[in-house]
Amino acid sequence: MKRQKELYMQRTAIIGFGCAGFHAAKSMREHGYNGEIHIYSNTDTPPANPMLTTYYVTGTLAYGGMFPFGDLDTLREEYDLILHRDTLVTALDSAQRRLTLRDGRTAFFDNVVLATGASALVPPIPGIERPGVFCMRTVEDAERLRERLEQGVRSAVVIGASMVGIKLVELLHKRGVPVTLADMAPHIFPTAALPEVAAEIEQRLEAQGVRQRFSRPIEAIELAGDGLEVCLGGGERLPCDIALLCIGTRANTQLADAGIRVDRGIVVNAQMETSAPGVYAAGDCCEGNNLLTGQTQIIGLWDNAARQGETAGANIAGAFPAASCPGNITHNITHFMNMDFIGLGDVRMTGDRQTFPLSGGRGRVDLVARDGRLVCVNILDQYRVSGVLKHFLLKSLLEPGTELGPVGRGRLEREGLPHTLIDYLEGLNKSHGSHH
C-alpha cells in the first residue's frame, strides 16, 4: 500500500498568478513538494505588481519592470510549473476539488489555492462605462491609459483620493495636465491619514495647483462636447477629457462555492485554509487577521499577499510544524508631489493623540495611543523611519511590553526624530509592560 502511495503524484491547482500565487508555488517547491503544480491565470502576463503600473504609464519604468519575479518561461522552468495561460476558471466544486474551465473542461486536484486577487471597484454611477473613463489596476489598464495619454489630454478628473489616485494626479500634473481630485470621503487618504495630517497634505497640493473636491458624491459622468463632465453632488460639473477611477478594490471571491465561507473576502485560518478541506486562499481575495483590532479584514498589501502565499504553499507541502500567518496591520507608504506619507495602524481608533513636528520645519509624526500601546502612526516627509516604527508597532502587539531598546532608539535618533517622540514611545511600552 505504501508503495502505491509513493507512486501517486499529488496535484495542486493555483488559481491566479499574482504575488500570492507566485509565493505559494515557490514555497511549495522550497518545502520539498514534488507533485504537479498547475497555474491557472486569466492573463498571458507574469505576476505583476499593481502599484508599479503608474510608473509604467509615466515612462519611468520599462514594461518588464511591472513583473518583479521575471518572465513566465523562466518561472515555469525554475519551479517546474504547468502553466495554463489565458485560461479562465469558471467554477470550483470545493467538496470534490474540481475546476471547470471556460471551455467546459474539468480537472480534479488534491489541493487548490485561491489566489484570485481583487478587481478595481466600479460603482454603479450612470455613465461609468463611457470611453474616456479609465480604471487603474491591471497591466492592461496601464497600457490603455498610456495609449490615451499619448493622444494628448487637456484636462482630467481623478475620482478617488487613494494611494493609486494620488499617483495618477502626480502623473498628470507632471505632464502639465490640469487635474481635479474628487472623492465623497471628507479628506485625502481616508483609510490611512488622520484628518489633521490630511489637511496639511491637501494644503500642499493646492499650493501646487491641484484642485480638490471632497465630501461630494459622484452622481454621473456625462458626455459634453468632445469630452466628459463629472457631475458632483450639489450641482457642480467638472469638465474633462478623461476620468480616472481609483476608489478601491473588491475581492474576487466568485469561485468560492457554498462550501467556502466568505465575508468581504474568503475567510481563512492562520494556516490559510478555507472552510473547505484541501482548499486554501491567499492574497487580496481573502481576509487576514488585523493584529491591532483582532478582527479579520482584507489587508491588500504586497507583503501580506507574499506571506499568505508562502504559508499556504508550506502547508500544502506538509511543513511540520504547520506554517502560520499570525496576521498584519494596515500599512501604506507612498511618495508623490515631493512628499512622503506613511500610514500605519488604524485611523478609526481613538485615544491619546500626539503630534511631533520634525526639525527643519517640514514634516511631522502623529501618533495615537490607546491603553498604553500605539494604534496609529502617520509620518509626513520622513519615510526612513517607517520600518523601525512598523517593526516596533508589530512587536508590541505580538509581545506586549516590548521595549524600543537601544538599537531602535539609536536608529530613530540617527534619523533625526525628536527626543520627545522617542521618550514618548519608550514611556508607552514601559507603562504597558507594567500592566502585565
- Residue-level pLDDT at 133: 97
Among 205-219, 255-269, 307-321, 355-369, which stretch is predicted with the lowest mean pLDDT?
355-369
CB 114 within 8 A of CB 274: yes
For the chain, the average pLDDT equals: 92
Residue range 2-49+67-119+250-316, CATH number: 3.50.50.60
DSSP 234-262: TS-EEEESEEEE-S-EEE--TT--TTS-B
| pLDDT of 409 | 87
Res 402 pLDDT > 80: no
Looking up cell 474633462 gives 240
> Would the pLDDT of 8 be above 80?
no
pLDDT of residue 68: 96
Residues ≥6 apart with Cβ < 8 Å to 397: 291, 292, 329, 373
Helices 405-414 and 419-434, interaxial angle, to 10°? 160
- Whole-number pLDDT of residue 431: 57
- Per cent of the chain over pLDDT 70 is 96
Ranges of H-type helices in 43-88: 53-58, 72-79
The DSSP code for 328 is B
Do 2-49+67-119+250-316 and 331-434 have matching folds?
no
CB 173 within 8 A of CB 180: no
| pTM of the complete model | 0.91
Where do the domains of the chain lie?
Answer: 2-49+67-119+250-316, 133-247, 331-434
Phi, psi of 177 (to 5 degrees): -90, 120
Decide if pLDDT at 179 tops 50.
yes
Q: What is the pLDDT of residues 243-294, one digit of tens each?
A: 999 998 999 999 999 999 999 999 999 999 999 999 999 999 999 998 888 8
Examine the pLDDT at 372 and tell me if it is beyond 90.
Answer: no
Whole-number Å distance between alpha carbons of 47 and 384? 28
* Domain 331-434, CATH homologous superfamily name and number: FAD/NAD-linked reductase, C-terminal dimerisation domain (3.30.390.30)
pLDDT of residue 7: 57
Domain 133-247 has CATH 3.50.30.50: no
pLDDT given at position 435: 41
CA 235 to chain CA mean position, Å: 34
